[in-house]
Structure 1
């Protein structure tokens, strides 16, 4: 009976989250509270259980990085990059598109893709307004690039943080296994972007002349602060790369980095805390408790046993199913709750493998499918929802289908090539 109740609560909550009729934070909190009230998740487990409670490593890693970015934003460096990109491209649409995508894709692995698009999207709107062109192609391309680029590291995409925590994968593991295919796919996406957006490019010479007259250095509010912030950021990234050697969790490194960033910058508390996405953090907490209900009532264990029996010893079939299944399901549901739900099941399947490399291959296939499936539709990833909201508030709304028709093409291309990569690297 408890398993049926847990499934019912989780399924109904998931439908509400996907439909977006009620704010996802409210849904997650209500579902989590209901799980606890009915005893499906013991109260103590919510806060202290490694597998059935809130994953504090994920929460504090995100919090630390959000504070770091909140401080960096005060320097004006992102406005500088936007004007710099517009001037270096001389307003040529495809050049500008590539430069904005490059900035986004390079920043996403280190700042996380949600945070990056929150910073780059307003700059893009400003640049496009100055050039007198539609911002939609540039914003859509940036989101797609952020989801591709963010897949390269542990902290680049929220699903990776969940997978890394569950599987015990390090920052360096992601760099070694994910970054190579991400680099290849980004280059291919740059070419694909020309095909997808070429008919929507605009060029107004008189507007370009106005932008070329701007001094991008004027947008840098505090160069000394920027230097200090970049130095701290470099230390944090080095800490992520070495955390398996120094035996310090990424969440602790992020919190220490945030504290150091605040100390060296002396930015007012209110200014950087207002950049923290509290809604996202609370949503994660509720989501972990929802999944914990499925774990505590044995639902996840039963599904894992069924999946393990179906796969048998054919782990390439399992990797293929995880990759394509995650891409399809992740395209229609937010990939964060999807990954949080599936991670315990993948863990059960991996446990049946006697070969550590094969087991890791399943995790990489799962990560690639979930990350690239996030490009499938307008609601498939948090970065997508964030940018569409920014565009709507700026008076340049992007419809669900306007985004999705480009996202589906991108997802198909990246997923098929990622599948070939998994086969060649781990099973050939």
Structure 2
């Protein structure tokens, strides 16, 4: 059964990467095969936290997609698009830098999927106004969201898993992770002109037209905007205080979506049109296939082998976990990877003599998993969501178009993280 689970996942992954078959079709067919062959049962698929569909992710996405659908009716995205273009004075490079920094900053307070859902419509409108292809801007933003989301516990789902397992507080996580995120963002920003060379040419006539626009005129429904703002603020507060309110982010998002739909009075077609049904189904299929790998012990054996070869050396263990996490998270999605790896890291931390240095393994896991999510188009939930939005807007991004940029950025960010971890936790500890 182990060999079959690996073969099904590998074939599905090749089909997704080659784009010979639609990614949703490949994921659902792969999921159907592992269930039909008895590798995963109904309990494994629908009810297990370790091997089943992560319903928190699915319903978080659904709730936020509905909220974004309502927000679209207010004109706020058009307002933000014109505002951003005017502040950047029509420069393609400055627009990209501004939007990526906004995305990275927002991802530290929200989860990166929510940030992508909110920023993508703005980006599409900015690019339409400037008459530039949106693909480079969308890719840059999702890469920035995965970097920025590493700063806090709530910024990326793997961080929540790590903090819970290691009993790390919000402030402790912030203290250890924010510096590397800021450094990495600075390096990433400097690399943007080379990463997306040729994507910044803007027609001067378009710039002149934008500078004459009044962004306030874009707001079509001020009353609905106020209602949406209040609900969105409450949802964000629920995200930040989920440990106090004992409500998962998915429940908060669904409650917010329900309240907003109720008070908006909009017809179903207006808010349901923003739901990326193909993306949700793709996630469901991917979770089932990865769950089969978890159940058959494939991921566990790989992770355990990676930790055993360290020989009890904290520095070697830190660097190995960092690199292995970046590679595996880019291939199998960082959420199930961290869920599998965290108990093994906990055992390794307890077995080491120098506890202060041993704790560095958690930061290596967080950095590797979060930054490694940029490696491929399916490495992080935000990547999949952004590709779905791009396709629906008639600007499809291929697996390899994204992954070529993702490999470069992941290599760059991990190269920055290696000396950071060594200097902060070993050389000057």
**TM-score grouping bracket, smaller chain normalisation:** 0.7 to 0.9
| Larger deviation, residues 172-181 vs 29-38 | 172-181
Partner of 2:239: 240
- Would the aligned equivalents of 1:378 and 1:384 in 2 still touch at CA under 8 Å? yes
Q: What does residue 213 of structure 1 align with? A: 212
Whole-angstrom CA distance in 2 between matches of 1:312 and 1:378: 34
Task: Point out the more displaced range, 159-168 or 252-261.
Answer: 159-168
1:55 matched residue in structure 2: 54
Q: Which moved more, 1:80-89 or 1:269-278?
A: 269-278
> Would you say the 8 A contact 2:31–2:285 is kept in 1?
yes
Superposed counterparts of 1:253-264, under 5 Å: 253-264=252-263
For the residues of structure 2 that align with 1:129 and 1:114, how far apart are their CA atoms? 23
Secondary structure in 2 matching 1:91 = coil
DSSP 3-state at the match of 2:274? coil
1:112–1:158 contact (8 Å) kept in structure 2: yes
CA distance in 2, matches of 1:71, 1:121: 15
Deviation at 1:425, TM superposition (A): 5.1
Contact 2:239 2:249 (8 Å CA) reproduced = yes
Q: What is the Cα deviation at residue 296 of structure 1?
A: 2.9
Alignment: residue pair count: 424
Aligned residues of 2:349 and 2:359 also touching (Cα < 8 A): no
Is 1:171–1:241's contact at 8 Å kept on the other side of the alignment?
A: no
Separation of aligned partners in 2, 1:94 and 1:294: 42
The equivalences for 1:313-332 within 5 A come to 313-330=312-329
Task: Report deviation, 1:170.
Answer: 7.8
C-alpha change, 1:265 and 1:321, in structure 2 (3 Å) is farther
Look up the match of 2:284.
Answer: 285
Establish whether residue 340 from structure 1 lines up as the match of residue 346 from structure 2.
Answer: no
Moved more, 397-406 or 186-195: 397-406
Range with bigger deviation, 206-215 or 388-397: 388-397
3-state DSSP of counterpart to 1:263: helix
Secondary structure of residue in 1 paired with 2:52: coil
Matches within 5 A, 1:58-207: 58-109=57-108, 112-114=111-113, 116-117=115-116, 120-121=119-120, 123-133=122-132, 135=134, 137-153=136-152, 156-157=155-156, 175=174, 177-194=176-193, 196=195, 201-202=200-201, 204-207=203-206
Question: TM-score scaled to structure 2, two decimals?
Answer: 0.81
Match in the other structure for 2:14:
15
How many angstroms apart in 2 are the aligned matches of 1:402 and 1:290? Answer: 24
| Shift in CA distance, 167/131, structure 1 to aligned 2, threshold 3 Å | same
Deviation at 1:310, TM superposition (A): 2.0
Shift in Å at residue 200 of structure 1?
Answer: 5.2
CA distance in 1, matches of 2:164, 2:7: 27
Summarize the Cα distance change of 1:161–1:64 in structure 2 as closer, same or farther, 3 Å threshold.
farther
Shift of 1:426: 5.0
Structure 1 gaps, min length 5: none
Supply the distance in 1 between the matched residues of 2:347 and 2:185 (Cα, whole angstroms): 33
**Structure 1 residues 292, 399: closer, same or farther in 2, change over 3 A?**
closer
Contact 2:345–2:362 at 8 Å: present in 1 too?
Answer: no
Q: 1:399 and 1:301, CA in 2 relative to 1: closer, same or farther beyond 3 A?
A: closer
Q: Which moved more, 1:56-65 or 1:79-88?
A: 56-65
Moved more, 18-27 or 75-84: 18-27
Note closer, same or farther for the CA distance 1:204–1:383 as it changes in structure 2 (3 Å cut). same
Single out whichever of 119-128 and 275-284 deviates more from structure 2: 119-128
RMSD of aligned C-alpha atoms?
3.7
2:32 is equivalent to residue 36 of structure 1: no
Relative to structure 1, the CA distance from residue 37 to residue 236 in structure 2 (aligned partners, 3 Å threshold; closer, same or farther) is same
Which runs of 5 or more structure 2 residues have no equivalent in the other structure?
Answer: none
User: How big is the shift at 1:390?
Assistant: 6.4
CA shift at 1:406, angstroms? Answer: 4.9
Asked whether the equivalents of residues 166 and 343 of structure 1 are also in contact (C-alpha less than 8 Å), the reply is no
Show the 5 A alignment for 1:372-411. 372-376=371-375, 383=382, 406-411=405-410
Residue of 341, 346, 353 corresponding to 2:349: 353
Deviation string 1:299-347 (CA, Å, 9 cap, x unpaired) is 344444433432342343233223223334555x4x52x6525641443
Query: Aligned equivalents of 1:155 and 1:405: distance in 2?
Result: 28
